[in-house]
């Protein structure tokens, strides 16, 4: 409530609130003294024969209303709400949040500490730890990797034991801690024919149908271009760069000739608006090392049953 641009608005808002509440109370009180003839109608009628009686307000209703008036006045004394007034309890949403975080730390702290000092493989064998890891995964990871962790186009499947960066427990933890973004440079300069050949070649080494003439041309282009720098001469990929293995039939972006051509032409994650822009966020500072440790164990368990 400290963001009023001037003292006037603080007073204005406080006055509107108070006048509103007190005005309601006065109006209610002024009506309480009115006299009515029980059974007499106001003379209005609807739907031909629905008549409106002119009876006094029920007592319970008036009292409920008075109670809400008193409640709101007490509330405004205790809590912020009257202009910039902070309320005598000193409550703010910030310190409520801090208190909740503190109490969560107190109840979960010892648990996290126990797992923090265990190796990831051992944590992955602990049912309670996996449940905690799964809950974290459901909160922070499923929008990209899916609730079943099987990924989607551009977001890797975490259950198949095929890794861009490596499936060793420490490597998984590193991926989660620091984030990842594999960059493939664009290759439009190779020309459409060479790129079409490359796409057929890549499909053929994965055992998919391909035009043999084009695939042959693609093999030459693969060796002549810089593809092997990142994907390797054997095409098995490079985990230091996150360059995928091109010889298995597991695809980050899809196996269609069209999709492969798009990737070779525009590259991946180049940051130019033409290529994809998929990034694995870094979680260490946001979640803390303890939660990352539990997540690493959960992810590890998905492909190491």
Residue 295 binds ligand HEC, judged by CB under 6 A: yes
Residues 43 and 52: their CA atoms lie apart, in Å, by 7
Give the shortest CB-103-to-ligand HEC separation in angstroms: 24
Among 31, 143, 178, 249, binds ligand HEC (CB under 6 A): 143
Dig out the tokens for 49 from the structure.
């024969």
Give the shortest CB-121-to-ligand HEC separation in angstroms: 15
Residue 165 binds ligand HEC, judged by CB under 6 A: yes
Among 76, 132, 215, 252, binds ligand HEC (CB under 6 A): 252
Residue 4 binds ligand HEC, judged by CB under 6 A: no
- In order of 44, 152, 238, 257, 268, the CA distances from 163 in angstroms are 78, 15, 10, 23, 17
Give the shortest CB-17-to-ligand HEC separation in angstroms: 42
Dig out the tokens for 202 from the structure.
């890549």
Residues 224 and 95: their CA atoms lie apart, in Å, by 63
Residues 184 and 242: their CA atoms lie apart, in Å, by 9
Among 82, 129, 210, 280, binds ligand HEC (CB under 6 A): 280
Residue closer to ligand HEC, measured from CB, 130 or 280: 280
Residue 140 binds ligand HEC, judged by CB under 6 A: yes
Residues 268 and 231: their CA atoms lie apart, in Å, by 14
Residue with tokens 């020309």: 191
Residue 130 binds ligand HEC, judged by CB under 6 A: no
The tally of CA atoms less than 13 A away on the side-chain side of residue 127 is 0
Dig out the tokens for 295 from the structure.
């997540």
Binding residues (CB under 6 A) for ligand HEC: these are 137, 140-141, 143-145, 154-156, 158, 163-165, 172, 175-176, 180-185, 187, 198, 202, 225-227, 229-231, 241-244, 246, 251-253, 260, 263-264, 268-269, 278-281, 283, 295, 299
């Amino acid at each position: 409530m400290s963001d009023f641009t001037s003292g006037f608005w603080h007073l204005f808002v406080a006055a509107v609130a108070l006048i509103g509440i007190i005005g309601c109370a006065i109006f209610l009180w002024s009506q309480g003294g009115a006299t009515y003839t029980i059974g007499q109608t106001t003379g209005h009628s609807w739907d031909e024969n629905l008549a409106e009686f002119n009876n006094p307000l029920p007592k319970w209703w008036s009292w409920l209303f008075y109670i809400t008036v008193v409640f709101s006045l007490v509330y405004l004394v205790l809590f912020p709400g009257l202009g910039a007034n902070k309320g005598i309890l000193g409550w703010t949403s910030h310190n409520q949040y801090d208190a909740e975080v503190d109490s969560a730390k107190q109840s979960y702290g010892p648990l996290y500490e126990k797992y923090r000092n265990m190796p990831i493989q051992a944590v992955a064998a602990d049912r309670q730890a996996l449940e905690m890891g799964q809950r974290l995964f459901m909160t922070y990871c499923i929008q990209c990797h899916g609730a079943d962790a099987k990924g989607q186009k551009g977001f890797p499947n975490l259950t198949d034991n095929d890794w861009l960066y490596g499936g060793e427990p420490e490597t998984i933890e590193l991926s989660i801690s620091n984030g990842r973004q594999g960059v493939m440079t664009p290759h439009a300069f190779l020309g459409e024919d060479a790129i079409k050949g490359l796409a057929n070649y890549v499909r053929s080494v994965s055992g998919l149908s391909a035009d043999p003439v084009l695939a042959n041309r693609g093999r030459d282009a693969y060796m002549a271009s810089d593809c092997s720098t990142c994907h390797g001469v054997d095409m098995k990929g490079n985990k230091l760069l996150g360059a995928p293995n091109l010889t298995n039939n597991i695809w980050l972006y899809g196996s269609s000739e069209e999709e492969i051509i798009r990737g070779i032409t525009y590259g991946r994650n180049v940051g130019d608006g033409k290529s994809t822009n998929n990034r694995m966020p870094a979680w260490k500072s946001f979640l803390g090392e303890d939660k990352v440790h539990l997540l690493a164990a959960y992810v590890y368990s998905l492909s190491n049953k």
